[in-house]
Structure 1
Amino acid sequence: MPAPEGIEIQEPPTAGAWGEWNPTEDSARPVRGKHRVLKQRGGLARSSTVLGVGVIAAVGASGIATAQDRPQVAISLPSLPDLMPDTLSGDRAQQADGEDAGASAGAGAAKTGIIPQQSDRRADPGELLRSRILQQAESQQDAAAAQEQAEAERAAQEAAAKEAKDKQEAARKEAEAVAAAAAEKAAQEAKAAQEAAEAKAEQERLAELAGSYALPTSAYTLTSHYGDAGSMWSSGHHTGLDFAAPTGTPVKAVGSGKITSAGWSGAYGYRIVLELEDGTEVWYCHLSSMSVTGGSVTTGETIGRVGATGNVTGPHLHLEVRKGGSTVDPLAWLRSKGLTV
């Protein structure tokens, strides 16, 4: 290539100028062309650098350059694809543009007197390996950190889900407890209301019955009760209720009905039998006198008087209540009719 105008082309210096240079015959080849030397403004040379064609040839051919007064240095150039496989395609892709840029850079280097070396344009293999190891380690660390973060997020989600489930279960149990308490309270209130209603109804019934029934006598004292045992009674136990009262005390019908029997009855003395509308029989015994001997009577009507006839130890009214031919407790029966005995 012809030299640009204004550039002085000189022959390369002789061996004496470089010291003693001894490249091998295989790695050295004749140096052709001329090198330019730029002089620094002010008369001083900026650089006496000369392109050592022999040095470049020795480096490219993996030769060894030696000098008598310097230690021997081995110069070798590794294969470019082995060092930079990832960037080789990019270097080839940019080769076209690099040629123009290289030409410009070469011209600038020639002007400044600086010769670019192979190590400036190619990365060190060890540094590339170290960089790759660091990148791989960083990638593994990032992956481990991402996995750890994912595990932490999953654990947090599970904990939150468990907490929400526990809260929901606790709320459900609390709601069930509240509902059960409310149901129990309502049942108790309903039961109390029912009992109150039943008690009220019973009171009303007894009040109504009290208007329909009356005590058999007044100014009395209860002596012998139903079921009392003793030899005084032929059955071995008392079959009625005794109202002790002075002789001549009025005896009244406990309810409306009809007189089915009136007269002497052995151990019972004078006796009146009153049959009520429901078929219940009431016996009045030991009477001193009888006011009625038949027909219908109403509640509270006087039917006789207290006496001491028959098998007695003193004046009293022996009252028996019979249903279906069997005796029942007169005291309980009178109370069931709303009467206070």
Structure 2
Amino acid sequence: MASNSPAPEAPFAPGVFSENGAARSTGEWNPSAETVPVRGRHRQRVIKQRGGFARSSTVLGVGVIAAVGAGGIATAQNKPAISISLPDALTDNLPDPGAFMSDGDQGEETSGGENASYAAMGLAGAEAGEESSDAGEALRSRILQQVEQQQAAAEAEARAAAERAAAAKAAADAKKAEAEARKKAEAAKKKAEAEARKKAEAERIAKLAKSFSLPTSNYRITSTYGQSGAMWSSGQHTGLDFAAPAGTPIKAVGSGTIKSAGWSGAYGYRIVLELNDGTEVWYAHLSSMNASPGQKVAPGQTIGRVGATGNVTGDHLHLEIHTPGGSALNPMSWLRDKGLTP
């Protein structure tokens, strides 16, 4: 540490100090780097060292010296001298005492020194402005970067939302298309099944047609099953009448065995054919018979002739169908079930 000598006593200056030695108040003065001139070799040191501890030490040293000088002058007449100790770092950076003198030679130096000091301070301010400008530009760049990042994130989210919406729409369209395809497939399946059933029925009928035959030809239907009338003893017709010329051949409707053949009262001459499944076919009002009981016959084989025997009003074939148990069936429906159309 370096020790400075006591502050010199200053003579009383009228108008500056009061009679008792106290300085008159002319306004508060806070010494700083802007208000305290920097002169001499210290000016050059400031110019060379614009930042860091050297600049701060210089400003602090100038302020301390100014404060000490002012205080020492104000109290020099009635107070003992005060010894001030400063750190070596500050002592090395203190300006020359002559920098604060006001003689002519130093005045000329002061004028140039102040200008140089102010120029140095302006240069430092310019550098500070540049640093401030760089910091502002960095902040602006960071803000723009954040805005760009946020905008990119928003655009990415919008794209993701659009992709999700497109995927949902595609899934809905696919589901709808699948439902329509399934509906069409079901309709096609039902149609195919219906066509298959129809085809199978046609094949069955064709096959049955080969196994069965109409009982006669060159005819017309004059009375149907269940028809009401007084000419029938039961009040209803029990068979199907085929009106045809006398002598028209009568055929076996299917394969079977002749169960009976002969006179049968109101039926006249009648033949009973028992088919292989036990169904009985009655042929009545025949004019003649060409088969005998126990005879095996085939579909379409002639077994008699149309006539008008028994209780009749004209030549015709009266055809009845009975189940193996004896119940009467509608001959029209039975023939159609065998693929025949009377």
Instruction: Tell me which interval the TM-score lies in, with the shorter structure as reference length.
Output: 0.5 to 0.7
1:110 is paired with a residue of what secondary structure? helix
Q: Is the 8 A contact 1:27 1:63 kept in 2?
A: no
Unaligned runs of 5+ in 2: 1-10, 34-50, 60-89, 100-105, 122-134
1:192: which partner in 2?
Answer: 191
Shift in Å, 1:102:
7.2
Amino acid at match of 2:15: N
Q: Which moved more, 1:257-266 or 1:193-202?
A: 193-202
Shift in Å, 1:330:
1.2
Unaligned runs of 5+ in 1: 1-14, 30-57, 65-73, 81-89, 122-134
Shift in Å, 1:201:
2.2
2:221: which partner in 1?
Answer: 222
2:303: which partner in 1?
Answer: 303
Q: Which whole-Å CA distance do the structure 1 matches of 2:253 and 2:21 have between them? A: 158
**Alignment CA distance shift 1:110-1:325 (3 Å):** farther
2:244: which partner in 1?
Answer: 245
Q: Which whole-Å CA distance do the structure 2 matches of 1:190 and 1:233 have between them? A: 51
**Alignment CA distance shift 1:25-1:318 (3 Å):** same
Q: Which whole-Å CA distance do the structure 2 matches of 1:27 and 1:333 have between them? A: 156
Could you tell me which of 71, 76, 86 is aligned with 2:29?
76
Give yes or no for the alignment of 1:168 onto 2:170. no
Give yes or no for the alignment of 1:313 onto 2:313. yes
Shift in Å, 1:192:
2.2
2:223 is paired with a residue of what secondary structure? coil
Shift in Å, 1:313:
1.4
**Alignment CA distance shift 1:244-1:21 (3 Å):** farther
**Alignment CA distance shift 1:212-1:162 (3 Å):** same
Shift in Å, 1:170:
1.9
Shift in Å, 1:191:
2.2
Report the number of matched residues: 256
Q: Which whole-Å CA distance do the structure 2 matches of 1:250 and 1:27 have between them? A: 174
1:223 is paired with a residue of what secondary structure? strand
Amino acid at match of 1:191: K
Amino acid at match of 1:190: K
**Alignment CA distance shift 1:168-1:187 (3 Å):** same
Q: Is the 8 A contact 1:215 1:254 kept in 2?
A: yes
TM-score, L = length of structure 2:
0.61
Q: What is the percent sequence identity of the aligned residues?
A: 49
Q: Is the 8 A contact 2:54 2:93 kept in 1?
A: no
TM-score, L = length of structure 1:
0.61
Q: Is the 8 A contact 1:63 1:76 kept in 2?
A: no
Deviations 1:255-275 (A, max 9, x none): 110111222222222211101
1:22 is paired with a residue of what secondary structure? coil
Shift in Å, 1:319:
0.6
**Alignment CA distance shift 1:102-1:252 (3 Å):** farther
Q: Which whole-Å CA distance do the structure 1 matches of 2:149 and 2:19 have between them? A: 63
Give yes or no for the alignment of 1:267 onto 2:266. yes
Deviations 1:64-93 (A, max 9, x none): 1xxxxxxxxx3421899xxxxxxxxx8657
Give yes or no for the alignment of 1:339 onto 2:324. no
Q: Is the 8 A contact 1:290 1:303 kept in 2?
A: yes
Deviations 1:220-267 (A, max 9, x none): 111111222222223332221110011111111011101112222222
Q: Which whole-Å CA distance do the structure 1 matches of 2:147 and 2:311 have between them? A: 110
1:322: which partner in 2?
Answer: 322
Structure with more relative contact order (C-alpha pairs < 8 Å, separation 6 or more)? 2
Q: Which whole-Å CA distance do the structure 2 matches of 1:192 and 1:213 have between them? A: 30
Q: Which whole-Å CA distance do the structure 2 matches of 1:196 and 1:181 have between them? A: 22
Q: Which whole-Å CA distance do the structure 2 matches of 1:264 and 1:102 have between them? A: 166
The structure in which a higher percent of residues are helix is 2
Shift in Å, 1:316:
0.6
1:51: which partner in 2?
Answer: none
Q: CA RMSD in A?
A: 4.4
Shift in Å, 1:281:
0.8
Amino acid at match of 1:211: K
